[in-house]
Amino acid sequence: MGYDPANPMVDRITDIGPPHFEQFFPPVIKANYGKWLYHEITQPGVLMHKGESGDECYTVRVGSARLISIELIREMCDIADAHCEGFLRFTTRNNVEFMVDSADKVQPLLDDLASRGNKFPVGGTGAGITNIVHTQGWVHCHTPATDASGVVKAVMDDLFEHFTSMKLPAQVRVALACCLNMCGAVHASDIAILGIHRKPPMIDHDAISGLCELPLAIASCPLGAVKPAKATNEAGEEVKSVKVNAARCMFCGNCYTMCPAMPLADPEGDGIAILVGGKVSNSRSMPKFSKLVIPFLPNTPPRWPETVQAVRQIVDAYAADARKYERVGEWAERIGWERFFEKCDIPFTIKSIDDYRLAYDTWRTSTQFKFTSHIK
């Protein structure tokens, strides 16, 4: 008995949750669960985990576009069936991992992956650049200030050598969020690519009464820039609406999230900001937020050359100058942010000086600084 549209509540099953994870473990994972001893990266993209039992699990890590088709997933399943006893997993950074239980099964798996064009690049391990965590962008989101998949493709094409190698001082985590909502949570990444708006919302007086709760729209603004106002709609009637104090707008888009009659996306206004130096891990230094170093780059589809170039410049300067183990943020703090801007050849602008809440924490209240080229 299948679904009956006349009786949708008959035999209804709800709140059963996800399937239990254990049924999806490859045998070598199941046998050594909680009993792993150490790991080694035997080559870029290939990890070996050694169990207390002496068992070895070899993992081949493969990049993916995240936005993928069921045809591609089925191909991944074919690979898992042929080499991995029908199991595979995905990482939090949208890579795919194929696991085998002995060293001699690795090369046939690598050969199979390599035979399938560029669909399954092997890498993303160690001191390199793994997949870019990212959001939907223009392919599926209603609030983006830039695309996601297109920018990621362009940046990863350029950084590809670092996906397949491990020659950087430490891992560099790149993330992209296509607006300030930051579904991609780029606020703690080594390099963050962030879609931003730069024009205040327009107000659709013809639609606002039907679409929005005005008090919610007004309350949504963190800076009190949205105020109640009378306006005239297209039919010439006076309607209750809102007005925006453009001088106070910080272009966060929260009003649009609450009120669809306040769109702010714009081809010229929207673009990308670059933030750097964040990290999540507690290794050596405490977790750090990413800091805004490039306030705006234009949206230039299909390949966003300005953004690709900016990321490349930062990675190259870091690769040339940082010490082994230093994350981008640790490097910038050691050399000083004034030196960071100089070494990366990024102009320092007033836009990088915080004037939002808690801003004072970032101002320099010390006589310690470096005489970089910024001081004339």
Partner 1 sequence: MPKHDTPLLDELESGPWPSFVTDIKRQAETKPECWDILGQLELSFKERITHWKHGGIVGVFGYGGGIVGRYSDVPKQFPGVAHFHTVRLNQPSSKFYSSAKLRDICNLWEKYGSGMTNMHGSTGDLVLLGTTTPNLEPLFYELTHDLKQDLGGSGSNLRTPACCLGKARCEWSCYDTQALCHHLTMHYQDEIHRPAFPYKFKFKMSGCPNDCVAAIARSDFAVIGTWRDDIRIDQAAVKGYINGDFPATGGAHAGKDWGAFNINKEVIQLCPTGCMSMAGDELKIDNAECTRCMHCINAMPRALRPGVDQGASILVGAKAPILDGAQFATLTIPFLEVNQENDFEEVIEQIEKIWDWWMEVGKNRERVGETIQRVGLPTFLSVMEVDIVPQHVKEPRSNPYVFWQSEEVEGGFDRDVREFRKRHAQ
Give the span between the Cα atoms of 257 and 252, in whole angstroms.
10
Contact window for partner 1 (CB under 8 A) among 100-108, 112-120, 226-234, 337-345: 112-120
Q: Which is nearer to partner 1, 120 or 341 (CB)?
A: 120
Find the angle CA(148)-CA(152)-CA(157) to the nearest 5 degrees. 155
What are the distances in angstroms from CA 31 to CA 23, 54, 55, 101, 346? 12, 11, 9, 11, 52
Please state, as a whole number, how many other Cβ atoms lie within 10 Å of the Cβ of residue 185: 15
Confirm or reject binding of residue 125 to partner 1 (CB under 8 A). yes
Q: Which stretch binds partner 1 (CB under 8 A): 234-242, 281-289, 310-318, 340-348?
A: 281-289
d(CA 38, CA 42): 13
Does 66 bind partner 1 (CB under 8 A)? Our answer is yes
The site that binds partner 1 (CB under 8 A) totals a number of residues, namely: 134
Task: Please choose, from the candidates 53, 16, 58, 49, the residue with its C-alpha nearest in 3D space to the C-alpha of residue 31.
Answer: 53
Cβ contact 308:146 at 8 Å: no
Q: Which stretch binds partner 1 (CB under 8 A): 105-113, 184-192, 310-318, 364-372?
A: 184-192
For position 139 contacting partner 1 by CB under 8 A, the verdict is: yes
Question: Of 293-312, which residues contact partner 1 (CB under 8 A)?
Answer: 299, 301-303
Site residues (CB under 8 A) for partner 1, limited to 349-368: 356-358
Measured between alpha carbons, how far is residue 92 from residues 17, 44, 69, 132, 155 in Å?
20, 18, 18, 10, 19
Note whether 201 binds partner 1 by CB under 8 A: no
Does residue 29 bind partner 1 (CB under 8 A)? yes
Binding mask 231-270 for partner 1 (x = CB under 8 A): ---------------------x-x-x---x--x-xxx--x
What is the CB-side half-sphere exposure of residue 258 using CA atoms within 13 A?
Answer: 15
Smallest separation (angstroms) from partner 1 to the CB of 263: 8
Least spacing, CB of residue 375 vs partner 1, in Å = 29
Should residue 54 be labelled a site residue for partner 1 when binding is judged by CB under 8 A? Answer: no
Q: Is 81 a residue that touches partner 1 (CB under 8 A)? A: yes
Name the 3-class secondary structure at 251: coil
Please say which residue, 185 or 214, places its beta carbon nearer to partner 1: 185
Count CA within 13 A, CB hemisphere, residue 119. Answer: 15
